[in-house]
Structure 1
Amino acid sequence: MPYSNPVLPGFYPDPSICRVGSDYYLVTSSFQFFPGVPIFHSRDLVHWRQIGHCLERESQLDLEGCKSSLGIFAPTIRHHDGRFYMVTTNTNGFRNFFVWADKPEGPWSEPVWLDWPGIDPSLFFDDDGRVYLTGTGGFLGNEPLGIYQAEIEIDTGRLLSDRKFIWSGTGGKAPEGPHLYKIEGIYYLLIAEGGTEYGHMVTIARSDSPYGPFEICPGNPILTHRSTDSPIQATGHADLVETEDGSWWAVFLGIRPAPFMFRGLHHHLGRETFLAPVSWSSDGWPMIGDAGKAALTMDAETLPLGQAAVRPPAKDDFENGQLPFYWNFLRNPAEGSWTLDDRPGWLTLYGSAPSLDDAGAPAFVGRRQQHFDCAVSAKLSFDPVKDGEEAGLTVYRDEKFHYEIALAHRNGTRKVILRRRVGSLWKVELEEDYDASEIVLGIEADASRYSFYFASPGGERKTFGFGECSFLSSEVAGGFTGVYFAMYATGNGQPCSTSAAFDWFEYIPTNE
């Protein structure tokens, strides 16, 4: 039976997976967004439902002042002896830690801090009771670049041995994202190389010892889309899982460059999670996908594809008293910056001094763009009275690359504005007087541009400018994240004197 890739569309990079019986659990990186490390559940590896976050308290995840594309890098999830473990790096301070939980939904523990430099930590539980911490070192130039490993005490995180350099990869740049497995008595070390761009790849080596020396797979790379015209690019950073029937599968990140006449110039949805089967050669080497390649449609003969697809609802009316898991804040939200209680059935934001141009925590509630073609709209009630006060919708990549359509107070008048920030260029492209305090704001996206509009509630919509998708891509903006659609409010340097309330928010894929 065929299935479609990506299995997690939108900004869900660096996937890691584990199986407990017939249940699969998957986590991804979250960078500067909060809560951190979304966790998903599936019974068939294809259809995933988010069940929470591993890092949902500020005591677990401090993102104050976190620069864009820093924060949480490359988590690994593992299950051992009835307990779940998630280990990761907070690059906002460059500290490695793990948290644990008895149930994947949580609650997850406070961080167990590790005396461990570098990034991309992974845990391996050997069948003799030893536990190994494997990670990437040397990227700051203070030691040889490559993969390091040590034995740890899992109850405390204390290192039981010195860090040992175990592999530098096959010669590609940025050897990283290691995972160690023991399969039929042999230790396999899986890593990513080539950098998380178009030269990305997955390589593997094996040994009779967890510390090596490692024999390099003659078929490396076992996954790469470099120098191909595939609609999937930059494949890498994989993790392996064995199903109940003994078949093997890989989850990994990839990108989908925008599918229009200049395909390949940019990708703006972010690095996404893909799935492919793993085959094994007669001499015990794995290969991911079809000779190291994946496709948008693949076959899943060994998977029980009976699970229904799980999608967030198209329209969120904020009636349930809590935000669904797919909503994120930008860094740790300021206390009192949002509530669902002040006006039941509305999301209320209290704008403060930080703006979307800052590495701070503006009042911001957003969800990932997951489709090239989609429509977003929201109903806003806002009565700004001082210049600088504004609230609306943003198409947000980071603090230097974003577009907004908003209701704002400018030059003593309430206006609808369209603003674009592209690097050091910042301009209010359009503005129009608007007398009422309630407004419907909308964004329509295709693979090449965003179209903005507004309307009075129940009135006719008015098209209000455009913004190119390419300016919000990694090829232009840099970094490791993807586009968010978000509701926001800000006083642009001062607290807002009035709140901004959103009655509903709608996200509709338009070309499926």
Structure 2
Amino acid sequence: MTLFDAAQNADLQTLQHAVEYEGQNFRERDADGNTILHYAVQSGDLAKTAYLTDFLALDPLDANLSGVTPLDLALQNGAADIAAYLAERSDIDPAHSFHNPVRRGFYPDPSWIRVGEDYYMVNSSFSFFPCIPISKSRDLVHWTTVGYAITNPAWARVARSEGGRGYWAPDISYDPASKRYYITATYRGNEGDPERRCQMVVSADRPEGPYGEPAWIHEDGIDPSIFHDDDGRHYMLFNRSVRMAELTPDCRAMKAPARLIWGGDVKNKTEGPQLMKHGGYYYLFAAEGGTGSGHRISAARSKNVWGPYENCPYNPILRQDDAGGYLQNCGHGKLVQAADGRWFLCFLCLRRGPDGTAPMGRETSIAEVTWTPDGWPVAAYGRRPRAVLNLPLPEAIPTAAPAGLTDWKGGEWVTQRALDAANFAVENGVLTLRGNGLDLCEMQMQGLLLVRQQERAFTAETELDIPSAGTAGLTCYYDEHSYLKFGVGPDGLLLQEYAGYEVISAQTAPLPAGTSRVRLRVTAENGNRAFAVQDGNTWRTLWTIPEPRYLTSEGLKCGKRFTGAMVGLYVHGTAAVRFTDWAAAWPRPEGKR
């Protein structure tokens, strides 16, 4: 009998015997990431649940690959006694807790600052436009996009950017002397460009912007950040281990060449450096080990800004060391001190499913930080990422998003590269989107609006007028090398899949009789995607396909795949198409509390 069988189906005595005499792996997980404790909770037996929690020290907050913890499972099953016990043992208030990630979907490489009681975060946008989203929160958990670092297409330089290029690893900072906010990021060119990597800097007098025209610092490297010292000097840090250069007072140029200040702790792919001053020390943080399973955050400190830096004896200060854990590839973080004096860390992570793919790409999670008696910051709870935490601050209503296209029908809309303003308009709640005759695989294509996919399971719908030529409708999109289109044209309905450099499947169906407008729906659940059209008052499913692996970073080797899956609207052709509605739902398996 396996431990899973004993935990779910046997009595307590049999489970105890299996644990204490059969010497099995108590950290074992099933194919869906469930632990032995999940099985005990599923049995509804409080005594078995308590035995595994108390004497094997299994974690009630250890999530499976869907993000469901044993505590979540007890709540979902209505097992009030088990839920109360697990909540007490894990020091969690289910009514005032949250699940990581806090920025779900393609929000990689986070950096944040506190402004009074408000918090602002930036994330990478790669070749998507507007560039570098700026989000705001009052509680570190609920975030709303309130601006972008670059909103002028003429400044963006992404019109030629291949998927996976563009703006990498931004940082947001504040200079109290000039009372200005700065955002810097690496601009990553295409492989054949004369300069493949340089650093971009913009500034504003408000954290949400608007930001001015970018300055370009022609120094190779990635993942820049800006540190404003209390003596009025400014420094930029970037990788190749950790290098640093002093900047001019306006932070738009380097005063002297960059030089190495720290080789890192594990000395392997050290990047994403951040510098802060606290308690008389300069603390240096960096991501190490590459962006795969070895990803981590390491720390060092020095009394001198130029070093030498002493490695933290507790490194890594955050790392996922459980290959079956819910949050994987955790690293690239930055500390912030809350208004109440506590410290928190934002970091990137992946939610990888049983098939090994992570459709949402790299996302943003947070961790509470504690300071050791000898003055080192480490992530709480064993320096590991935690799936569930108590709300760090009183829950706040999310900030309202700016009016306009970015919030049409509740969507946070972006496009691949830049969308010509002449090709879209919103009037009286109706979006008109025009293509330029090019398809989604072509770099200069116009007529594409996207939102980030937030969960594996989702539903997206749109209602549109049937175009007079070409097709328009819904798209599930990763980049110009991988997408599908579920659209409609004068000749009928179309489902087309594109992967690599070619169409890999195409299916057609006739239109419902007597229609000039259609409502389309794509549903992802249980490992499949279904495509349906509304026919009168009912939905008619036309096609069902297996979940497309080509819509993930792991599922296709083609170009640089560092982003995440998107869902949205497209127009292929030159018609101006009216979209009268859009709706998307992202149900969370663990439930919202």
Q: TM-score, normalised by structure 1?
A: 0.88
CA shift for structure 1 position 460: 3.7
Quote the Cα distance in structure 1 between the aligned partners of 2:107 and 2:474.
22
> Does 1:180 pair with 2:266?
no
Give the letter for the 1:417 counterpart.
L
Structure 2 residue corresponding to 1:384, chosen from 465, 468, 474: 468
Structure 2 residue corresponding to 1:415, chosen from 473, 492, 495: 492
Kept after mapping to 2: 8 A contact 1:319/1:345: no
Q: Secondary structure at the residue paired with 2:224? A: strand
**CA separation of 1:264 and 1:91: change in aligned 2, threshold 3 A:** same
Give 1:333's aligned residue: 419
Q: Deviations over 1:425-462 (max 9, x none)?
A: 52343211226331111111126332211224645423
Q: Secondary structure at the residue paired with 1:60? A: helix
Give 1:13's aligned residue: 108
Quote the Cα distance in structure 2 between the aligned partners of 1:395 and 1:19.
35
Give 1:100's aligned residue: 203
The equivalences for 1:100-179 within 5 A come to: 100-136=203-239, 145-155=240-250, 157-171=252-266, 173-179=268-274
Give the letter for the 1:168 counterpart.
G
Give 2:383's aligned residue: 292
Structure 1 residue corresponding to 2:357, chosen from 262, 266, 272: 266
Kept after mapping to 2: 8 A contact 1:448/1:470: no
Q: Secondary structure at the residue paired with 1:59? A: helix
Gaps of 5+ in 2: 1-95, 190-195
> Does 1:352 pair with 2:436?
yes
Kept after mapping to 1: 8 A contact 2:145/2:401: no
> Does 1:475 pair with 2:554?
yes
Quote the Cα distance in structure 1 between the aligned partners of 2:100 and 2:555.
25
Give 1:462's aligned residue: 541
Q: Deviations over 1:340-368 (max 9, x none)?
A: 24xx4321111113211122333111111
432-441 or 319-328: which moved more? Answer: 319-328
Gaps of 5+ in 1: 137-144
**CA separation of 1:210 and 1:447: change in aligned 2, threshold 3 A:** farther
Kept after mapping to 2: 8 A contact 1:330/1:364: yes
Give 1:486's aligned residue: 568
Quote the Cα distance in structure 2 between the aligned partners of 1:265 and 1:273.
19
**CA separation of 1:266 and 1:447: change in aligned 2, threshold 3 A:** farther
Kept after mapping to 1: 8 A contact 2:408/2:429: no
320-329 or 186-195: which moved more? Answer: 320-329
Q: Deviations over 1:308-344 (max 9, x none)?
A: 357989xx9x999968671111111134221224xx4
Give 2:370's aligned residue: 279
> Does 1:88 pair with 2:191?
no
Kept after mapping to 2: 8 A contact 1:369/1:483: yes
**CA separation of 1:394 and 1:256: change in aligned 2, threshold 3 A:** same
CA shift for structure 1 position 39: 0.8
- Which structure's residues are more often strand, by fraction? 1
Q: Deviations over 1:5-41 (max 9, x none)?
A: 1111111110100112211111111111100111111
> Does 1:406 pair with 2:487?
yes
Quote the Cα distance in structure 1 between the aligned partners of 2:407 and 2:374.
56
Quote the Cα distance in structure 2 between the aligned partners of 1:105 and 1:319.
17
Give 2:290's aligned residue: 195
Q: Secondary structure at the residue paired with 2:308? A: coil
When Rg is computed on C-alpha atoms for both structures, the one with the higher figure is 2
Kept after mapping to 2: 8 A contact 1:439/1:454: yes
Give the letter for the 1:402 counterpart.
Y
Quote the Cα distance in structure 1 between the aligned partners of 2:499 and 2:487.
17
CA shift for structure 1 position 467: 4.1
CA shift for structure 1 position 149: 0.4
Q: TM-score, normalised by structure 2?
A: 0.77
**CA separation of 1:456 and 1:348: change in aligned 2, threshold 3 A:** farther
CA shift for structure 1 position 99: 0.8
CA shift for structure 1 position 74: 0.5
Q: Deviations over 1:252-285 (max 9, x none)?
A: 1101112xxxx26111011111010011111111
Q: Secondary structure at the residue paired with 1:336? A: helix
Quote the Cα distance in structure 1 between the aligned partners of 2:493 and 2:136.
42
Structure 2 residue corresponding to 1:441, chosen from 489, 498, 520: 520
CA-atom RMSD in angstroms: 2.4
Quote the Cα distance in structure 1 between the aligned partners of 2:445 and 2:501.
20
CA shift for structure 1 position 407: 1.0
Give the letter for the 1:443 counterpart.
V
> Does 1:396 pair with 2:477?
yes
Give 2:44's aligned residue: none
Give 1:48's aligned residue: 143
Q: Deviations over 1:170-202 (max 9, x none)?
A: 235321110011111111110101222222111
Give the letter for the 2:165 counterpart.
L
Kept after mapping to 1: 8 A contact 2:524/2:547: no
Quote the Cα distance in structure 1 between the aligned partners of 2:101 and 2:519.
32
Number of residue equivalences: 481
Quote the Cα distance in structure 2 between the aligned partners of 1:402 and 1:374.
16
Quote the Cα distance in structure 2 between the aligned partners of 1:284 and 1:319.
47
Kept after mapping to 2: 8 A contact 1:52/1:325: no
